[in-house]
Amino acid sequence: MLWSVYSLRNLWARRVTTLLTLLGLGLVVFVFVAILMLAHGLERTMGRTGDPANAIVMSKGALSEIESSLSRDHTGVLAAQPEVITLANHQAAAVREIALQLTLRKQGGGSLASLSLRGSSPDAFAVRPPVRIVQGRLWQPGTTEVIVGTQVAKQFPEARLSETLRFGRREWTVVGIFESEGSGFDSEVWGDAEQMMATFHRTAFSSMTIRLADPTVLPAFKARLERDPRFKVSVKREPEYYEGKAEGLARLIRVTGLFLTVVFSVGAMLGATMTMSASVAHRTTEIGTLRTLGFTRSHILQAFLLESILLGLAGGLLGVAGAALLNSMTISTVNWDTGAELAFAFHLTPAMVGEGLLFAAGMGVIGGLVPAARAARIEIVHALGQRTV
């Protein structure tokens, strides 16, 4: 406690250099935590996409829905499997979908961006209960009506309610906006599967999403279908499939961000070293006095190291506070795994706050170790001799 007060007073006595060092350390921690928030926000968005009770079926070897092809006959047989739950209308909770892409211009005359275009059926809302209409209405089957996710409506003016989209040489009216609790579906455009297949001359579906009566039977369900020579399909739990679509981008964000953080942290640690070295140089006589009063070299080392750690933690708090301002801020980028625009939000967790402060304390230790060791090695005679001179 005594050393803490002593260290804080010394930091305050040199507040200008302390503030500059704090800003440097805070900037590094801000970048570090912001990168973690960005990668976690992406994974969280994709992890929310889909329902754990659902299984997505694609053709064997396909890495995405766009590459997959399921015949109409096969989807009929798949929907009749005994593990599939039956809806209130006595239909199987299975939805056949076609995955396409649509190009639109961003708000304010921005760049063109690709969006996921999903041909589906109204049963998709029964298979995915978190998805709900928040404005307008559902499309009428057999028509060129579409609904768009909330993020699409925000970013693309031509995809707002009652606007008309033009693709596949046809006009499609936006009749509704849906929300899916912040999942990747919010960045998609949905419409009638049969109309889209006719428009794009497709004869096969891309995927089939099945809602299981008992989610625990998925491993056995998957093994049975994948062994069945009639289908040649692969089966995954729906959230697992979408999480896999974010792995590449999340890894790129982390690697690039952590590389920048390491580069910046070298500069911040040099700043902490210079600040602590200047502190040692101005307090040589003070160090000699403390040694005369009975404080050991270990005490001097601990005092200066504690001062540097406090400096690091203060910078860490500053950086974490700055990063917290980004929490829930939404950005969009191209998901390399799908080629489509995806909107997601920064997300701060308590673990990231801890990691940021731990990283800041580590920079304080490394930056202050050399000056603290030099202060501990100063001889009493030399230290007090400077005052005499």
User: CA–CA separation, 307 vs 279, rounded Å?
Assistant: 10
- Residues 147 and 193: their CA atoms lie apart, in Å, by 13
pLDDT digits (tens, 9 = 90+) for 157-171: 889 999 999 998 899
Tokens of 302: 């601990």
d(CA 99, CA 117) in angstroms, rounded, equals 6
Structure tokens at 241: 């499939």
Residue 389 in this model has a pLDDT that exceeds 70: no
Q: What is the pLDDT of residues 339-360, one digit of tens each?
A: 777 888 888 999 999 999 999 9
The residue among 61 and 119 whose pLDDT is bigger is 119
pLDDT digit string (tens) for 319-338? 999 999 998 788 877 776 67
Strands 188-192 and 145-149: antiparallel
pLDDT, tens only, 99-149:
999 988 887 767 888 899 999 999 999 999 999 999 999 999 999 999 999
CB within 8 Å of 294: residues ≥ 6 apart: none
Strand partners, 342: 333
pLDDT at residue number 283: 79
SS3 track for 293-321? CCCCHHHHHHHHHHHHHHHHHHHHHHHHH
